Structure formats: structure tokens, C-alpha cells
């Protein structure tokens, strides 16, 4: 049995080929290996693929023992720091179960160099989403993950081309790019940039009336998809994340095409699939090299 672990913004999701469960990041601070028995007996686990934070200090899919500092440059930066993801990572590493860590997309990644105008393109769990969606839709895909934040990726001919990270373009429900007002508040000493990022989503910036928040996320998600379609007009469209079913009708209307809809389990399921393929001998995943 192969397990995928999605370190998300509001929770950590665990999936095998057959079962799944979720812990809040607060609950995960008490994680122990016995929790994986909810997926399958421990002695049946053949391999694990785990994502952690931004995954920005390595660029290959790497055996967990080889990753330094849990695969991140620093804990400082955009996001909420609780400790649940750290606890899960460390328990998996100590377990002795074969495990791989998934990198994020950043300036060291084998993506289109033009996307490296920005230091960070995508966190690691989005690789699991991309892998799951490509399994269904083929090698040319744009997939937009919409939930607490919105991140959209392009895969062409089975390789990751690039992505828009949450702090660059489209807002999610909680997080978004820093606009002029946010920059002024930061410069005035009224909060940190990280605090501003965590309060730039539509739940903070758009009135809760006439479904406007969902329609706003839908519009910006569709705009990110349309932007990436410039680089691959034949790509199929996928939506993932907790908001995907809610925004899908409007995204379809705006783009004038059908979209495939995936739920919040897409990342962990894709990571489970990825673990199976890597531990079965795959040396390349969507253009990312494997180092185990």
C-alpha cells in the first residue's frame, strides 16, 4: 500500500489507494505513526510521498533521509506556522518506512525560465494534484487549485512548465496577493507582510452577498487558466480544492469550455499514486527527477 500526505493550509490529508482521513494542523501536533492504521496495517505500507511547507530548497523528488531542513529554506515567509506538519514529517522520517519528499516549484526547478521572475511558483502538494489530474486528462493540462489560496499550474507534454503561486495573482478564501492598501499598512507598521498575505483572500476583501466571494474566486481562477492557455491552447482544464465544485459552473462559462472537477482529496490521492510509481521504478515525474 502506498500513502500520500498533503500538507495543506488548514489541514493535513492522508490517502492510500482505498482510504483517507484528515487532521487539522492543530490535531497533527499530536500525530503518531499509529494514525496510519486508519489507512491500512502498518506492515502493509510500501512507501509514502509527503509534502511539507514550500519545499523550496531542493528540486528533485528525494528520499526523506537526504532532505535537509525538511526541504525548506526557512520557516519564515508566507503561511501560518503551527507545528502539525513538522510533527508528521519527523514521525514519518523516524519510522523507517520508505518515504520520499516532494519539492515545490521555485527558481531551482526545471520549469520555463520566464516563470522564475518570481522566487516561488507552487508548493509541493500541488505536484500531487497535477499528477492526479494528468492521470485522468492526459499530458496537456492546466489545473487550478482553489481553497484557502489559489494556485494554478501548466503541464505540457507531460512536463511542468510553470505556475502562479498564491501570493502572485488570484485570491483564495483566506490568502492573496498584497495590493496597494496592504503595502501601505505594512509600511505604516500596522502588520507584517505575512499577516497581510493571510488576510488578502475574498473572505476579508469582498462583501459576503450575492455569492460575490465565490464569483470572485471563479473569475480570477479562470483568468489564471486563460493566461496559462496562452502557452498551451490545447490543454484541458481541471479544478481542484474545496472551492472547485462551487466555482466550476462560472469558470466553465468564462472560459467557454468544460472543466474537470476534483475535490480536496486530489493532492493526497495524487501523492499516493506518485509514491506507487516512484517506488515501482519511475525516474521522472512530470519532468522532476527522482533521487532515492
Average pLDDT over residues 5-13: 90
In this prediction, residue 76 carries a pLDDT of 65
Average pLDDT over residues 85-114: 96
Which cell numbers hold the place of 234? 490545447
pLDDT over 90 (residue 93) = yes
pLDDT over 80 (residue 79) = no
Identify the residue whose cell numbers are 499514486: 273
Q: Read out DSSP for 16-36?
A: -SS-EEEEETTGGGG--GGGG
pTM: 0.95
Q: Alpha helices, DSSP H only, in the chain?
A: 84-95, 125-137, 180-187, 193-197, 202-205, 212-229, 244-255, 266-279
CA distance 19 to 35: 12
Identify the residue whose cell numbers are 501601505: 184
pLDDT over 90 (residue 45) = yes
Do 121 and 78 touch, CB atoms closer than 8 A?
no
Sheet bearing 11-15, strands edge to edge: 20-24, 11-15, 2-7, 47-50, 99-101, 61-63, 288-291, 284-285
pLDDT over 90 (residue 77) = no
Q: What domains, with CATH codes, occur in the chain? A: 2-171+209-291 (3.30.420.40)
Q: Please state, for a pLDDT cut of 90, what percent of the chain lies above it.
A: 93
Average pLDDT over residues 86-112: 97
In this prediction, residue 124 carries a pLDDT of 97
In this prediction, residue 89 carries a pLDDT of 96
Q: Which helix (H) or strand (E) holds 240?
A: strand 236-240
- Mean pLDDT over the full length of the chain: 95
Nearest in space to 152 (alpha carbons), one of 101, 99, 228: 228
Which tens digit of pLDDT belongs to each residue from 159-212?
A: 999 999 999 999 999 999 999 999 999 999 999 999 999 999 999 999 999 999
pLDDT over 70 (residue 81) = no
In this prediction, residue 78 carries a pLDDT of 59
Do 51 and 102 touch, CB atoms closer than 8 A?
yes
Amino acid at each position: 500500500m502506498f500513502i500520500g500526505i498533503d500538507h495543506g493550509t488548514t489541514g493535513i490529508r492522508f490517502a492510500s489507494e482505498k482510504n483517507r482521513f484528515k487532521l487539522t494542523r492543530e490535531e497533527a501536533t499530536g500525530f503518531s505513526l499509529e494514525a496510519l492504521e486508519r489507512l491500512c496495517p502498518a506492515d502493509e505500507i510500501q512507501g509514502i510521498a509527503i509534502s511539507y511547507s514550500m519545499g523550496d530548497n531542493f528540486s528533485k523528488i528525494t528520499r526523506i533521509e537526504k532532505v535537509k531542513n525538511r526541504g525548506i529554506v526557512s520557516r519564515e515567509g508566507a503561511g501560518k506556522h503551527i507545528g502539525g506538519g513538522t510533527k508528521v514529517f519527523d514521525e514519518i522520517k523516524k519510522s523507517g518506512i520508505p518515504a520520499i519528499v516532494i519539492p515545490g516549484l521555485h527558481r531551482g526547478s526545471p520549469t520555463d525560465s520566464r516563470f522564475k521572475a518570481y522566487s516561488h511558483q507552487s508548493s509541493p502538494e500541488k505536484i500531487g494534484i497535477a499528477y492526479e489530474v494528468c492521470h485522468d486528462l492526459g499530458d496537456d493540462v492546466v489545473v487550478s487549485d482553489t481553497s484557502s489560496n489559489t494556485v494554478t499550474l501548466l503541464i505540457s507534454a507531460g512536463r511542468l512548465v510553470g505556475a502562479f503561486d498564491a501570493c502572485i495573482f488570484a485570491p483564495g478564501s483566506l490568502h492573496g496577493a498584497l495590493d496597494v492598501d496592504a503595502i501601505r499598512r505594512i509600511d505604516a507598521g500596522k502588520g507584517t507582510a505575512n499577516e497581510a498575505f493571510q488576510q488578502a483572500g475574498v473572505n476579508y476583501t469582498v462583501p459576503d452577498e450575492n455569492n460575490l466571494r465565490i464569483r470572485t474566486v471563479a473569475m480570477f481562477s479562470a483568468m489564471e487558466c486563460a493566461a496559462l492557455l496562452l502557452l498551451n491552447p490545447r490543454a484541458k482544464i481541471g479544478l481542484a480544492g474545496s472551492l472547485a465544485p462551487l466555482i466550476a459552473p462560472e469558470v466553465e462559462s468564462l472560459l467557454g469550455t468544460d472543466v474537470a472537477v476534483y475535490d480536496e482529496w486530489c493532492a493526497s490521492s495524487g501523492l499516493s499514486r506518485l509514491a506507487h510509481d516512484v517506488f515501482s521504478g519511475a525516474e521522472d515525474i512530470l519532468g522532476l527527477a527522482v533521487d532515492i
